[in-house]
Amino acid sequence: MNIRDSVVAMIALALSTLAMAGVVGSGAYAQAAGAEARGVHALSTVMAHTLCAEPVTLAAVSPEVAR
């Protein structure tokens, strides 16, 4: 019984690895990751405008660098 479980686990691992390689190779993963990145960027931009109504300056930056 133990050997059969090991064989089934190895077959499942091989199939899942092939499935993941197919998803990554097809470009669907890159498209989904790009959409997620655009969504996170849009959300962070909206939150920054909501939380910081006035321009934010860094106190540690000298005036020469800020120009």
CA–CA distances in Å: residue 15 to residues 18, 26, 40:
5, 16, 32
| Number of domains forming the structure of the chain | 1
- The predicted pLDDT at position 66 comes to 47
pLDDT tens digits along 8-29: 999 999 999 999 998 888 888 8
Q: Which residue range forms the structural domain that includes residue 37?
A: 2-66
- Is-contact 66 57, C-beta < 8 A? yes
CA atoms within 13 A on the CB side of 18: 6
pTM score, whole prediction: 0.47
Residue 60 has pLDDT above 70, yes or no: no
Mean pLDDT score, 49-62: 61
Placement of tokens 């006035």 in the chain: 54
- Neighbour count for residue 52 (Cβ, 10 Å): 9
Q: Give the largest CA-CA distance in the chain.
A: 74
**pLDDT at residue 11, rounded to an integer:** 96
At residue 62, the pLDDT reads 52
